[in-house]
């Protein structure tokens, strides 16, 4: 299958790709618009989603997003180290905006997603990237916060970020080689019972496999690459990929360069979705394209440009780890923005994927998992 890397606008993509974009449910299972949304609200703006995000998502042909409203780090919790309050702030912003918006609806199940798309609105799933805000009172294994955020609409929960939580260990704790805690087992079982989708991104090996052993439902890895194609330690090994296939889950491919071509941000190498398809090809060869989805992890919005870490109480840090403040554009060169996401279908067409496979990758595979998890 031939590669290509020329940047295209809507008029230049193939007619088949245009048709697939119009017919598909396009889901971005890992979206970071709240980084910028919160800043725009602090600046006194109104109708923020309708003005800034709906037009980009519609142009990119994206119908559904799972957007992070909280996490393990201040940079994801409205720049406060009071993580629970930061999550509540962002949830409040989005709920207030929903009441006046003509373009989106927060969805809590598959039927609501389908009805929202039928109304020509964008479906939003509420997500966490890291679960520290769900830990509750120190030293007490209470699931009160998990159940409360579920009632408030949380439907996608990434258990770990970079470091250790009360539930499990992330990639930053590889030396300790600790996995899911007893509290973490209870949380996984409760998420299964409630109907909350489990996200295994950023987990160390032991935590990852522990979660798969405990969960009775399919899981996702929302934004990642493969180690076989790009030897970034954050990426998935073949063993992990096969385990997701056995679980019936879905792996979301992202548009962050360094998980696609290691250190390409530093070298300035051109990286496009064609390079992402190398990862998709590898996953497909192991477990089939029915286990592939899209989780773009886009955070390079106009007011952000990847400097959100610099604005944290501990500049340049995520969960206590000093990661630095990345320089340059860390997003793919094509697509480089959510408004350009429609080119993904064209890249997949050029690489020989069938219509069925492309529709699955763009969203139907994730919709299947939604039906089995959030209901």
Helix H, strand E, coil C: the string for 120-149 is CCEEEEEEEECCHHHCCCCCCCCCHHHHHH
| In a domain? residue 186 | yes
Sign of the Cα pseudo-torsion (229, 231, 237, 241, in order): negative
Whole-number Å distance between alpha carbons of 153 and 263 = 37
| In a domain? residue 3 | no
| In a domain? residue 5 | no
Whole-number Å distance between alpha carbons of 44 and 47 = 10
| In a domain? residue 247 | yes
| In a domain? residue 4 | no
Structural domain count of the chain: 1
| In a domain? residue 352 | yes
| In a domain? residue 2 | no
What pLDDT shows up at residue 310?
Answer: 64
Q: Other C-beta atoms within 10 Å of 320: how many?
A: 12
Place of tokens 């957007």: 67
Provide the whole-model pTM: 0.95
Whole-number Å distance between alpha carbons of 161 and 29 = 16
What pLDDT shows up at residue 71?
Answer: 82
Whole-number Å distance between alpha carbons of 156 and 113 = 14
- Enumerate the H helices of the chain as residue ranges: 15-23, 34-42, 48, 54-60, 83-100, 110-118, 144-151, 182-194, 205-214, 238-247, 257-260, 264-267, 273-287, 343-350, 355-359, 365-373
CATH number at 344 reads 3.20.20.140
Q: Which of 98, 324, 348 is nearest to 363 (CA)?
A: 348
Report CA 28 to chain centroid distance, whole Å. Answer: 7
Q: What is the pLDDT along the chain (375 residues), one digit of tens a residue?
A: 555 555 678 989 999 999 999 999 999 999 999 989 999 999 999 999 999 999 999 999 999 999 999 888 777 778 788 889 999 999 999 999 999 999 999 999 999 999 999 999 999 999 999 999 999 988 899 999 999 999 999 999 999 987 888 999 888 777 777 899 999 999 999 999 999 999 999 999 999 999 999 999 999 999 999 999 999 989 999 999 999 999 999 999 999 998 999 888 888 899 999 999 999 999 999 999 999 999 999 988 888 876 666 666 667 667 766 677 766 788 999 999 999 999 999 999 999 999 999 999 999 999 999 999 999
| In a domain? residue 24 | yes
- Residue 292's domain spans which residues? 10-373
CB-based contact 188:182 (threshold 8 Å)? no
Q: Is 226 in a helix, a strand, or coil? A: strand
């Amino acid at each position: 299958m031939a590669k290509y890397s020329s940047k295209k606008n809507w008029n230049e993509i193939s007619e088949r790709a245009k048709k697939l974009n119009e017919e598909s449910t396009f889901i971005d299972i890992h979206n970071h618009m709240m980084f910028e949304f919160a800043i725009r609200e602090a600046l006194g703006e109104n109708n923020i989603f309708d003005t800034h995000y709906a037009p980009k998502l519609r142009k990119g042909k994206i119908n559904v997003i799972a957007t992070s409203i909280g996490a393990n780090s201040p940079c994801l919790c409205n720049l406060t180290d009071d993580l629970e309050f930061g999550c509540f702030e962002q949830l409040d912003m989005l709920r207030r905006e929903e009441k006046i918006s003509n373009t989106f609806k927060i969805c809590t199940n598959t039927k609501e997603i389908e009805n929202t798309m039928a109304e020509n609105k964008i479906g939003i799933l509420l997500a966490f990237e890291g679960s520290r805000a769900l830990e509750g009172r120190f030293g007490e294994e209470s699931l009160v916060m998990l159940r409360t955020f579920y009632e408030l609409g949380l439907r996608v929960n990434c258990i770990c970020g970079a470091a250790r939580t009360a539930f499990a260990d992330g990639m930053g704790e590889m030396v300790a080689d600790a996995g899911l805690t007893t509290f973490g087992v209870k949380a996984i079982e409760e998420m299964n019972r409630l109907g909350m989708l489990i996200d295994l991104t950023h987990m160390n090996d032991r935590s990852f496999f522990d979660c798969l052993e405990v969960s009775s439902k399919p899981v996702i890895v929302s934004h990642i690459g493969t180690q076989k194609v790009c030897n970034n330690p954050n990426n998935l090994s073949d063993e992990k990929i096969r385990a997701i296939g056995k679980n019936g889950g879905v792996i979301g491919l992202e548009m962050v360069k360094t998980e696609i071509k290691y250190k390409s941000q530093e070298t300035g190498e051109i990286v496009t979705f064609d390079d992402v398809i190398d990862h998709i090809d590898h996953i497909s060869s192991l477990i089939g394209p029915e286990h592939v989805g899209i989780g773009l992890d886009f955070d390079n919005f106009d007011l952000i440009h990847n400097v959100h870490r610099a604005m944290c109480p501990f500049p340049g840090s995520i969960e206590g780890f000093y990661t630095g403040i990345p320089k340059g554009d860390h997003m793919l060169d094509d697509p480089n923005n959510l408004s350009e996401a429609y080119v993904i279908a064209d890249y997949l067409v050029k690489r020989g994927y069938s219509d069925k496979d492309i529709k699955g990758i763009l969203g139907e595979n994730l919709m299947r998992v939604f039906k089995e998890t959030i209901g």
